[in-house]
């Protein structure tokens, strides 16, 4: 029964080791005789060829089985990211403003007052997956929101959609950014005195 235990241990090897075993077995099976003579494994290959074939097929099968969930998860994450990025095509003006602000100020994270309308907009962006609420650094009065890396990369690729090249349009946008600067820097955040 120890051979069964050894076989079960081999099945549980990491995929890279299983692939290594498969590749080594494949090389032993298909190397030309001239190369095996130089390596000195011609006799060994002749004696153990059937076992190497079985071990190679088994290693390939177990490698494939272990690799499938990883590939499947990778594909699902990729599809989810595509869906998130597709939502960039249907943003409201307020949502575009927050993302344009992050781009213009080169900030991955913005701290928004919970009583501001920008906080509501940022919450909507979180539901679309375009922002994430930071797990630390928030209080009752303000919450930090962070742009995920894959969204940040896409925003930079679409920079012209968020930040116009025309001076007049950019001046109008900068005037709207001024209010966001106050909200982000805390000037527009409510204080305990104003809430009483």
The domain segmentation of the chain, as residue ranges, is 2-82, 91-195
Token couple for 134: 């930071």
Distance CA 121, CA 46 (A): 71
Cα separation, 84 vs 125, whole angstroms: 10
Q: Return the exposure string of 103-132: e unless at least 16 CB atoms fall within 10 Å of the residue's CB, then b.
A: bbeeeeebbbbeebebbebbebbeebbbbe
pLDDT of 187 reads 47
pLDDT at position 151: 92
Q: How far is CA 48 from CA 54, 55, 62, 116, in A?
A: 10, 10, 21, 74
Q: What is residue 152's predicted lDDT score, i.e. its pLDDT? A: 92
Bridge partners (DSSP) listed for residue 143 = 112
CA distance 97 to 118: 9
**Which positions ≥6 away from 109 have C-beta within 8 Å?**
134, 144, 145, 146, 147
SS3 14: coil
Q: What share of the chain is helix, strand, coil (3-state, %, to 5)?
A: 75, 5, 20
**pLDDT of the chain, 196 residues: tens digit per residue:** 566 566 666 667 777 788 888 888 888 787 888 887 788 877 887 788 888 888 888 888 888 888 888 888 888 989 989 988 899 998 998 999 899 998 988 988 888 877 778 888 888 999 999 999 877 666 677 888 999 999 999 999 998 888 887 777 778 788 788 877 777 765 444 443 344 4
pLDDT score of 156: 92
Instruction: Return the structure tokens found at 94.
Output: 């307020």
Strands (E), 31-134: 109-113, 132-133
Distance CA(8)–CA(194), nearest Å, equals 67
How far apart CA 153 and CA 39 sit, in angstroms, is: 50
Cβ–Cβ < 8 Å for 68, 75: no
Domain 91-195 part of CATH 3.20.20.210: no
Which pLDDT does position 190 carry in this prediction? 45
């Amino acid at each position: 029964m120890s051979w069964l235990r050894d076989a079960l241990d081999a099945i549980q090897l990491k995929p890279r080791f299983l692939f290594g075993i498969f590749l080594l077995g494949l090389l032993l099976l298909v190397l030309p005789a001239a190369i095996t003579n130089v390596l000195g494994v011609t006799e060994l290959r002749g004696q153990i060829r059937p076992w190497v074939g079985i071990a190679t097929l088994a290693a390939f099968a177990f490698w494939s089985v272990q690799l499938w969930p990883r590939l499947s998860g990778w594909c699902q994450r990729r599809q989810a990211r595509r869906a998130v990025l597709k939502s960039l095509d249907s943003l409201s003006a307020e949502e575009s403003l927050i993302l344009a602000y992050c781009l213009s100020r080169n900030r991955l994270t913005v701290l928004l007052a919970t009583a501001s309308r920008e906080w509501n907009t940022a919450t909507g962006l979180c539901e679309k997956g375009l922002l994430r609420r930071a797990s630390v650094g928030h209080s009752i009065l303000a919450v930090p929101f962070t742009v995920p890396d894959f969204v940040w990369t896409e925003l930079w690729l679409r920079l012209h959609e968020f930040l116009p090249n025309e001076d007049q349009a950019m001046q109008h946008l900068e005037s709207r950014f001024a209010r966001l600067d106050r909200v982000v820097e805390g000037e527009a955040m409510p204080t305990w005195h104003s809430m009483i």
